Copies of this chain bind each other. A is one copy, B any other.
Amino acid sequence: MIAVSEHNAPSDKHCPHNAAINCASCRLSAICLPLALAQDEIVQLDEIVQRGRPLQKGQHLYRENDNFTSVFAVRSGAVKAYSMSDSGEEQVTGFYLPGEILGMDGIGHNRYASSAVAMEVSAICEIPFANIEDLSGKLPNMQKHFFKLLSQEIVEDQRHITLVSKHTAEERLASLIVSISARNARRNLSPLNIRLPMSRTDIGNFLGLTIETVSRVFSRFAKQGLIEVDKKELVVLDIDALKTIASLGH
């Protein structure tokens, strides 16, 4: 699916876009697939992971109804998944940041149920699912971890259902900000200085709001001194207030 680079990249192992890297040395190993595996098991995982050249912004990882072949891990950048309903409307189903796995919605029917597109230049690890199945048969840890991953995505989705069906615009947006902040923290990035990789349109679509409402709520939060926004740059001034709003009953 991803073109594998024909020659090895130069030796800078610290560049996150660098394809010449392995799971054991990847600085995301603590939050990505290897997290459940022993050292010798990571080596086996490493052998089936394919690392392509970076995707440019707007390039697709896969498209809805493509034959399902692989799941993907984001190494750098950011990816959005979205699906098209019968009626032609787009639904953004998720944003994927470094260390996160996507594509698992394709397992069920051997076709991807969504499309995935890079929201900025992104480095991606591709993991052929047939190999994951093999490996899962051999390594109980791997099987267990994958069951967990799938189950956690179900729980996430159910939380999201609650969010969009029972919460106000302010609660939804606060919730997204808090989520991205927490995921930044997990990667040892600042939880308060955030760069939003997605457009307002994507945010609105993901949260079940129009772009205008998203814009208005951002402005309201800024006016209240909770955040500062300048386009995609977001400074969180009062994370506790946002958490409170996010967990507010309706």
Residue A39 is within 8 A (CB to CB) of chain B in the complex = no
Q: Which of chain B's residues has its CB closest to A103's CB?
A: B151
Within the assembled complex, what's the spacing in Å between the Cα atoms of A154 and B164? 16
**Interface majority SS on A: helix, strand, loop or mixed?**
helix
A85 neighbours in B (Cβ, 8 Å): 159, 162, 166, 247, 249
Q: Report whether A208 and B89 are in contact in the complex, using a CB–CB cutoff of 8 Å.
A: no
Q: Return the CB mask of A103-141 against B: 1 if under 8 Å, else 0.
A: 011111100011000000000000000000100110010
CB within 8 Å for A133 and B137 given contacts A104-B151, A154-B154, A161-B164: no
Within the assembled complex, what's the spacing in Å between the Cα atoms of A148 and B75? 26
CB within 8 Å for A154 and B108 given contacts A91-B161, A147-B133: yes
Number of interface residues of A (CB under 8 A): 47
Residue A250 is within 8 A (CB to CB) of chain B in the complex = yes
Partner of A165, one of B113, B149, B165: B165
Residue A87 is within 8 A (CB to CB) of chain B in the complex = yes
Residue A153 is within 8 A (CB to CB) of chain B in the complex = yes
Residue A150 is within 8 A (CB to CB) of chain B in the complex = yes
Q: Which of chain B's residues has its CB closest to A157's CB?
A: B157
Q: How far is the CB of A103 from chain B (nearest CB, A)?
A: 10
Q: Report whether B150 and A147 are in contact in the complex, using a CB–CB cutoff of 8 Å.
A: yes
Residue A83 is within 8 A (CB to CB) of chain B in the complex = yes
A91 neighbours in B (Cβ, 8 Å): 158, 161-162, 165-166
